[in-house]
């Protein structure tokens, strides 16, 4: 590992926005440093250097491995039916249900859960294997109970999906493969 004082040697972009706190995003495989207006990125990059390096290696390993992945071939209608059935099943298991479901193409994530109880799934999920679709739907439905990715959230996820880290890694690999489709 590089010494903490050495500069970051991989690509990143900086975006100055009207935000209070800096944040780091790797949504599309490239580091985006979001900063309050006028703030310099050096301090943030140094502070989070180990996390950045770990995440960068994780993503680039996923990109290399993604070439070996075989995508599923289900229709949009089959995908919607599968998701609706999973929601029914997980609603009973978790004791909660989303108010609405949308399936649409999303640019930077597999799914989201709004504070109003709307689940939105990326239509590219139709190319994922069943176990990853199950994981995504469950993950988002847990957000109906717990909005944050805190310890309680991950405990609930791991109770259902023991190897949640592997699911996250596989989702990352599939992300880069499905980007080539549309």
3-state secondary structure string across 139-158: HHHHCCCCCCCCHHHHHHHH
Domains and CATH numbers, the chain: 12-66 (no CATH), 76-178 (3.30.2010.10)
- What is the distance between the alpha carbons of residues 171 and 179, in angstroms, rounded to a whole number? 12
Quote the DSSP letter at residue 110.
S
- State the pLDDT confidence band at 3, using cuts at 50, 70 and 90: very low
C-beta separation of 103 from 121 below 8 A:
yes
- What is the distance between the alpha carbons of residues 88 and 99, in angstroms, rounded to a whole number? 12
From the list 14, 20, 62, the residue with the least C-alpha distance to 41 is: 14
Least confident span in 3-17, 91-105, 122-136: 3-17
C-beta separation of 133 from 125 below 8 A:
yes
pLDDT in tens, 48-81: 988 898 888 888 888 888 888 899 999 999 999 9
Average pLDDT, the chain: 89
> Does residue 9 carry a pLDDT above 90?
no
């Amino acid at each position: 590992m590089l010494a903490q004082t050495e500069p970051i040697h991989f690509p990143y972009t900086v975006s100055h926005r009207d935000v209070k706190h800096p944040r780091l995003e790797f949504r599309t495989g490239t580091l985006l440093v979001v900063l309050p207006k006028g703030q310099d990125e050096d301090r943030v990059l140094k502070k989070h250097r180990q996390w950045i390096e770990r995440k960068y290696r994780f993503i680039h390993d996923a990109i290399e491995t993604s070439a070996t992945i075989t995508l599923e071939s289900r229709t949009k209608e089959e995908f919607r039916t599968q998701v609706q059935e999973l929601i029914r099943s997980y609603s009973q298991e978790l004791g909660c249900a989303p108010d609405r479901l949308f399936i649409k193409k999303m640019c930077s994530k597999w799914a989201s859960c709004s504070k109003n109880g709307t689940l939105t799934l990326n239509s590219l999920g139709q190319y994922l294997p069943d176990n990853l679709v199950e994981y995504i739907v469950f993950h988002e439905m847990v957000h109906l109970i717990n909005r944050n990715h805190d310890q309680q959230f991950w405990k609930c996820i791991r109770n259902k999906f023991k190897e949640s880290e592997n699911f996250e890694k596989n989702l990352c690999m599939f992300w880069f493969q499905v980007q080539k489709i549309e």
